[in-house]
Homo-oligomer: A and B are copies of this chain.
Amino acid sequence: MSFSARIFVTLFIIFASEAKFLPKSRNGCRALLGDTLIKEIASYKNVKNEIFKYVLDGDFKHKTYDELAKFVDTFGARPSGSQVLEDSIDHMIQLTREEELNDIVTEELEVPHWIRGTEKVTMLEPRIKEIDVLGLGRSVNTPPEGITAEVVIVKNFEELSNLSNKDVDGKIVVYDPIFTTYGETVVYRSQGASKAAAKGAVASLVRSITPFSINTPHTGSQNYDDNIKKIPAGAISLEDADLLRRFYDRGEKIILNITMSSTYETKTSRNTIIDLKGTDHPEKLVIVSGHIDSWDVGQGAMDDGGGLFVSWAAPVILKRLNLRPKRTVRSIFWTAEELGLIGAYAYEEKHRNESHNINFIMESDEGTFAPLGLAVAGTQEARCIIAEILKLFKSINASTLVEDDSPGSDINVIIKNGIPGASLHNANERYFWFHHTEGDTMNVEDPDELDLCAAFWTAVAYIIADISIDIPR
């Protein structure tokens, strides 16, 4: 083989092997971006290093964790519509002002305030056993004496639809889907009650949406169909769901008493908007965000305290380092995410006329474990630019770009209008172990991982806000 032939084969192998790690659609990134832009992006290495040094080994070391811990310890759970949520918003504004970031706006909106009351499920047959339960958001009440009825168990909606109305009428439907992905499994939590009610069920329970449990029920939101009778809806642990399933498969009759109460009203809350104004294009926005409300169980440290604080940290770190990008870096603390992205919908509606100014929108709401990269929505060219930026984070193994057309929770409300955006992709294999449970506490958070996330989040936002071109749509 000639020398040039060897080079050809070697290059072929290199590109072939690289192609394995890049999604097919980004093969042409190099041609699409051009050498000038690629070089420009690479030139941000020094700024990135400066940010990482300051956060990992400088004055900001463990600051994100420490402030998050003080915040979570002081306020605890921050349910939509509660006074404690408003107090926690005031705290974040004060904390930001102390950083001499004074471009802070809050925008009021109406939010649901659903307050959990008594919740009790007792198995009466085949033997008496208390079953831990968490009502699902907006669940209606049972009568004070509860609902006592026989149980019918289904693995999925298909099994439910195969049952006759007579089989379900007057009964409690228990859904026991085995967790695959959150997206696939959560439909039994979010839609289960109305689908069961449509068949005549008097209440519905769902096996908690998690792959792991220490007899831990997981709450969450659910939506009633307007045209169908609203029935009480709750979540039980994997363990109790599987216990019911074993009885059911042995042909034993199961009778439960379900007692649930709650109150539901409307309150006023606020989205919080902090701007670090851009030097050249202050009207153009690179948004980082997390939600400040949490479920009423647990402490909302992981969901979404971590995302809130890395998004708070981004403008703070840039301000402290006197790094002012060309475009504005905007940090948004969404309110009332848990009961249906209420804050995000209000923001989208209020700012719809200026949506052309959103250059890129980011959210962290799936954990702040070790950062791995970004889950990105956008055109091929947009993804190519982000992929090129992510190459700067190889040393911390955060260069992965996941293609995801709906990468966030709140930000999907914006992204669905064709605006490019991304969610923090992180080592969150255990995220759903703690999600919406009493176990969502500071113990899930790690000071060093939070530092990595904060530094990564800040550097990515800075680079996108500062490069010479807008992220194309």
Q: Taking beta carbons and an 8 Å cutoff, which residues of A are in contact with B?
A: 69-70, 73-74, 76, 126-127, 129, 132, 213-216, 238-239, 242-243, 246-247, 250, 298, 433-434, 437-439, 441-443
Task: List residues of chain B with CB within 8 A of the CB of A74.
Answer: 126-127
Task: List residues of chain B with CB within 8 A of the CB of A126.
Answer: 74
9 intermolecular pairs with C-beta atoms under 8 Å apart: A69-B246, A132-B438, A213-B443, A214-B214, A214-B433, A215-B298, A215-B441, A239-B441, A239-B442
Task: List residues of chain B with CB within 8 A of the CB of A434.
Answer: 214
Residue of B nearest to A438 (CB): B215
Number of identical monomers bound together in the oligomeric complex? 2
**Interface residue from B76, B127, B129, B242 paired with A127 (Cβ < 8 Å):** B76
Task: List residues of chain B with CB within 8 A of the CB of A441.
Answer: 215, 239, 242-243
Q: Are A239 and B127 in contact (CB under 8 A)?
A: no
Report the Cα distance A214→B134, complex, angstroms: 15
Given A127-B74, A238-B443, A443-B239, A214-B246 contact (CB < 8 Å)? no
Smallest beta-carbon distance A153→chain B, Å: 14
Given A74-B127, A76-B127, A247-B73, A442-B214 contact (CB < 8 Å)? no
Smallest beta-carbon distance A151→chain B, Å: 14
Task: List residues of chain B with CB within 8 A of the CB of A70.
Answer: 250
Smallest beta-carbon distance A193→chain B, Å: 25
Task: List residues of chain B with CB within 8 A of the CB of A243.
Answer: 73, 441-442
Task: List residues of chain B with CB within 8 A of the CB of A437.
Answer: 214-215
Smallest beta-carbon distance A214→chain B, Å: 3
Q: Are B247 and A439 in contact (CB under 8 A)?
A: no
Closest 9 CB pairs between A and B?
A: A214-B439, A215-B438, A239-B441, A215-B439, A214-B216, A239-B443, A214-B214, A73-B246, A69-B246
Smallest beta-carbon distance A216→chain B, Å: 5
Report the Cα distance A242→B447, complex, angstroms: 14
Smallest beta-carbon distance A323→chain B, Å: 31
Smallest beta-carbon distance A450→chain B, Å: 15
Smallest beta-carbon distance A369→chain B, Å: 16
Smallest beta-carbon distance A253→chain B, Å: 14
Task: List residues of chain B with CB within 8 A of the CB of A438.
Answer: 132, 214-215
Task: List residues of chain B with CB within 8 A of the CB of A76.
Answer: 127, 129
Smallest beta-carbon distance A434→chain B, Å: 6
Task: List residues of chain B with CB within 8 A of the CB of A443.
Answer: 213, 238-239, 242
Report the Cα distance A214→B238, complex, angstroms: 14
Report the Cα distance A439→B443, complex, angstroms: 19
Residue of B nearest to A238 (CB): B443
Smallest beta-carbon distance A297→chain B, Å: 9
Smallest beta-carbon distance A174→chain B, Å: 15
Q: Are A442 and B213 in contact (CB under 8 A)?
A: no
